[in-house]
Amino acid sequence: MLRCFELAQSGLGNVAPNPLVGALLVHNGKIIGEGFHQEIGKAHAEINAINDAEKKYPQLISESELYVNLEPCSHFGKTPPCTDFIITKGLKKVFISNTDSNPLVAGKGIKKLRSAGIEVIENLLSIEGRNLNKRFFSFHEKKRPFIILKWAQTADGFIAPESKNKIQITGELSQQQVHKWRSEEQSILVGKNTVLSDNPQLNVRLWRGKNPIRLIIDSKLSIPKNLKIFNNETPTIIFNSIKTAEQKNITWVKLDFTSSILKQLLSYLYSKNIQSILVEGGSLTLQKFINENLWDEAKIFTSTKKLIQGINAPIIFREDLKSELLSIADDNLKIIYNYH
């Protein structure tokens, strides 16, 4: 199953809103076929693993066991049901890490396999499996995207100078890591002030991968049209209090700014099947997510630089949360987990 997890991870950034899935076909303790879900709309992991085994060991398929980290689907989506394919191949035993939370599956795949006489072993490394698919499970169980907060702060706790002068708080390797994270999530969010002060591109430049959907909060639509978020590079959604409209790659979505805009925003993203958000700033926007407890992970860089004065970094007041500390060159990275 650990190998299934490794294979599944290879689909990160390419399969959302589908889950990350890896699969193995095993005969007498030997792996004879491997596969993972590579891209949304293409074959699922179970199909790829069985097809891989058939190229080399066609005579062993019906005598083999299937390992897959998520319950095989039993419905027609962009591809036919995996359960039907597994049944036609005559497999007798299937090992699964997690039941699928998607209401379209949710135990129906396991029931279908058992009805066909296939033995199903569930909950193999289920905690590790849930962590692998934290975005998928959060989306279906909490009815909102998985939310990652990210910021960089100086050693004395500032996120930016008060002046218009820009400084790079972290080093090159940390910047590259952030672009890797961007490639793994479906969307990236900032507030109006960050756009006005930094004119960011919010894309993946320092890592190979897809650009995330850009999400901007701009109540009065005050961001000038000559800034980089209005280029045609990637889909962009602007949440505002004035209009709902579409033009080329830009979508404007009107919200009621007299009540919680975050819950409205998240509800809209859920309706659009957007499973994850990387919230990159600024300090006020990040603090709103923290204050409303609408976050799942926080990734906080702290550099050795000092500003003496500036814009204060967000603060997570809770001390009961699991965290880990890492080093990236001269920067410290703290990851805080607001789940489990």
Residue 227 gets which letter from DSSP? S
Residue 271 gets which letter from DSSP? H
Peptide bond into 29 cis (omega under 30): no
Cα–Cα nearest to 217, from 255, 170, 182: 255
CA 222 to chain centre: 30
Task: Compute the distance between CA of residue 183 and CA of residue 243 in angstroms, rounded to an integer.
Answer: 30
CA 136 to chain centre: 8
Q: What does the DSSP assignment read for 152-183?
A: EE-TTSEEE-SSS-----S-HHHHHHHHHHHH
* Other beta carbons less than 10 A from residue 291's beta carbon: 12
Task: Compute the distance between CA of residue 292 and CA of residue 317 in angstroms, rounded to an integer.
Answer: 12
Task: Compute the distance between CA of residue 72 and CA of residue 75 in angstroms, rounded to an integer.
Answer: 9
Q: What is the largest CA-CA distance in the chain?
A: 71
Cα–Cα nearest to 330, from 135, 159, 175: 175
The residues assigned a catalytic role are 46
